[in-house]
Structure 1
Amino acid sequence: MDLQQARMLRDVLSDTAWWDRTRAFGRALRTSTRTPGGLLLIGPPAAEPWHLTAHLDDEARFAGLPEMSPTLVRWDPPRGAPSQLAVGLERLSTAKRGESVLVVAETAPEALLERVHDVRRGGATIFALDTGHTELAGIAHEVLSVDTGVVPAGNAARTDPLVEHPAAGPAISFEGAQHLLSLAAAEAEPGMPKGLRSRLARLLDAISGPDA
């Protein structure tokens, strides 16, 4: 899915409760992340959220929100990887108040749950994008669940971002939800000039400190 398709999907869902929840989730993510480099993305070892990281980075640059440019946290980055792809799990141990960890997981193995639980104790705000069938809801401060259980099985259902289901209406795929979240997370606040919220956040940190 490219940016134009993602925006078309957003327009289709603009009057639905799902988009309202996604916008609220994105707004909370912006509010809790106060410094550039303070938004950390992690997923299960076998499904690191590469695509959401890339799309969020694009949207953050376009919106003038450097604090929303994400850092991909990897389980085992290879030696010699570029700096943006070489951030390992040790970064989670330094996550603090004013920073956010976004967990992107269709399934959440025990190792991931343990890491997230440890990060929460350190003071960072935990967000989770999941399927509603993980244990992340018991750990995260904010959860956005994609009920993929109503999407029919099959390859077409997994790749189609919007699937019409006769009993439940439109169902969002997990991939489609990630694209929508990247748009919602960088959405401008009503009446606020581009980049102003970022400058206000940095001013607040200069006055009160990031842990206030």
Structure 2
Amino acid sequence: MEAMDAASVTFLREVLATTGWVERTCEFALPLRATRTPGGLLVVGTPEDEPWHLAAHLDDEARVSGLAQLAPTLVRWSPPPGAPPHLAVGIDRIQAARRGETLFVVAERKAPVPLLERVDDARRTGATILALDGGDPDLEGLAHDALAVPERDGLFTFDAAQHLVSMAAGEAPRQRGRLLDRLARLAERVTGPRVPD
């Protein structure tokens, strides 16, 4: 996942505004906010591709938004000995997932069978399963919600999707903003646009 600042993500949103992807990423990100406790948002990838950069962005969003439940636990397949605590959580953590926790699987390529088995276990124990993937029917069949990113869809790449989802997770639900925008437009129609002093 390439580094992308907030201004770049905002620009990307503007470019993608008419495609439906912005709304879909916002809708997909909403359940991330519903995780009940800090550390209960488990983020896992494949053995070859750990989503540490996405986890860092979610951690930033948790801090900025004040939503402690967005601070993720990065689950790793083989944490190296002596890794700091936040980078030392092994794959067995998924087996301990419970109701009120969210397992967020990030896999651009097909999820391996050991990952699918663990996702199935977490679903059976009541965890909410979300999948950001490249179109994996096996993974999507286990997920409560999945966002499949097409291999080629202009600017909407797998990397862009991760940035859009992490930013959307830290924001208030967009419906409220839409209502306020509509009320502001209605007020302008009634009273006319506000003239600066």
The normalised TM-score by structure 1 is: 0.76
Q: Which residue pairs with 2:164 in the alignment?
A: 180
- Whole-Å separation in 1 of the counterparts to 2:140 and 2:93: 22
Number of residues of Structure 1 aligned to a counterpart in Structure 2: 171
Note the 1:86-165 alignment, pairs <5 A.
Answer: 86-107=88-109, 108-148=111-151, 150-151=152-153, 163=154
Note the 1:1-212 alignment, pairs <5 A.
Answer: 1-3=3-5, 4-31=7-34, 33-107=35-109, 108-148=111-151, 150-151=152-153, 163=154, 171-189=155-173, 190=176
Instruction: Return the offset for 1:134.
Output: 4.3
Instruction: Return the offset for 1:129.
Output: 0.1
Instruction: Return the offset for 1:16.
Output: 3.0
Q: Which amino acid aligns with 2:24?
A: R
Instruction: Return the offset for 1:79.
Output: 1.2
4+ runs deviating over 3 angstroms: none
Between the aligned residues of both structures, percent identity stands at: 56
Q: Deviations over 1:33-73 (max 9, x none)?
A: 11111100001001010110011111111011110111100
- Whole-Å separation in 1 of the counterparts to 2:32 and 2:146: 11
- Whole-Å separation in 2 of the counterparts to 1:16 and 1:85: 36
Q: Which amino acid aligns with 1:121?
A: R
Q: Deviations over 1:73-95 (max 9, x none)?
A: 00111111001000011211211
- Whole-Å separation in 2 of the counterparts to 1:43 and 1:133: 13
- Whole-Å separation in 1 of the counterparts to 2:52 and 2:10: 20
Give the secondary-structure state (helix, strand or coil) at the position aligned to 2:39: coil
Q: Which amino acid aligns with 1:20?
A: E
Give the secondary-structure state (helix, strand or coil) at the position aligned to 2:69: helix
Give the secondary-structure state (helix, strand or coil) at the position aligned to 1:78: coil
The structure with more radius of gyration: 2
- Whole-Å separation in 2 of the counterparts to 1:25 and 1:64: 20
The normalised TM-score by structure 2 is: 0.82
